[in-house]
Amino acid sequence: MTDALKRLSDEGVAIWLDDLSRKRITSGNLAELIDQQHVVGVTTNPSIFQKAISSGDGYEQQVADLAARKVTVEEAIRMITTADVRDAADILRPVFDATGGQDGRVSIEVDPRLAHHTTPTIAEAKQLAWLVDRPNTLIKIPATKAGLPAITEVIGLGISVNVTLIFSLERYREVMDAYLAGLEKAKAAGLDLSLIRSVASFFVSRVDTEIDKRLEKIGTDEAKALKGKAALANARLAYQAYEEVFSSERWAALDKAGANKQRPLWASTGVKDPAFKDTLYVEDLVAPGTVNTMPEATLEATADHGSITGDTVRGTYDAAQADLAAIGKLGISYDDVVQVLEDEGVEKFEASWNDLLKSTEAELKRLAPSEG
């Protein structure tokens, strides 16, 4: 059953689960996925927490306690989400220890309403790191323009970071630059660089969704032939950029000081178009030193019928460049696409967070004790 997942791990791809809920923790399901499906990390986001907490499964007692204490809805959400992340981090601790800190990681995101504000993002990242208080946590910071200096500052403080919502190659290079600048700050402050980790979450399926919609509108045979090619091309060229940056002289100095590379993480790897194979963004993005964070359906599909045939990224750069160039020639603006996706990504997480605020507030009211 898990041969494909084992082969994926053997190729140097860390398998992380893109989901978390209290039920998954308490039922033993997370431990089972680690034990049987080669899962070595967990990512969360506001949408995942909104879905988990709104289901109410396993949260009622804590919400009742929080209601009795009359905490604000924001504080309640942070208490609930950090409790889940702390418990998941404890379950993953043996993986963290066995991999020398590389895997066994759980990510938790700063409030998405802060995406365009640098100083509050830094403050929130510090607060989350303190609240969860586990060495195997990654604080998620969005790769917006305001997020970049926050990444540098937070890494400089020795806090490990998962940079999220990366869509463009240019922004990805800026993210790697922000990471290196943060390591340089940490080094100047005398921190142990070997303890700082980071991943850069490069989003995949959403690129195809947006570009394929535009190709469909053009409607020519040439346009239709390019459907399903943009996301892979974009991600593969991101890996090329990663190879360049982490073989530079600037990196060599940090490497010598004990720093760790910032691994590319393939995010949004669930296939949205039923015309594509459901394991497309797993099988065609196999490269050493990467992470693939999968929704459970994609994890199960890969275990069931995935075909892992070795490295499917290196050696594809010319073809990837040609695919993006062909899309550009049809009048589809790459810059416009990636900006739309970044804006939408921030908006979606903000909407999920607002939904979470509303549903948690309703639960706090419902479970509040009568006075006396």
d(CA 208, CA 222): 16
| Strand 39-42 to 105-109 pairing | parallel
Cα-based angle 95, 96, 100 (whole degrees, multiple of 5): 115
Dihedral angle sign, alpha carbons of residues 23, 25, 29, 30: positive
| 345-to-73, 138, 143, 166, 318 alpha-carbon distances in Å | 24, 19, 11, 9, 29
| Strand 13-17 to 137-142 pairing | unpaired
Question: Using a CB cutoff of 8 Å and minimum separation of 24, what contacts does 296-300 make?
Answer: 296/17, 296/19, 297/270, 298/269, 298/270, 298/271, 299/5, 299/15, 299/17, 299/33, 299/37, 299/39
Would you name the residues annotated as active-site residues?
140
* Strand-pair partners of 198: 161
Q: Give SS3 for 282.
A: helix
d(CA 353, CA 325): 37
Crossing angle of helices 169-188 and 147-156, in 10° steps, is 30
Ordered DSSP codes for 193-205 = GGG--EEEEEE-H
Ordered DSSP codes for 68-110 = HTT--HHHHHHHHHHHHHHHHHHHHHHHHHHTTTSSSEEEEEP
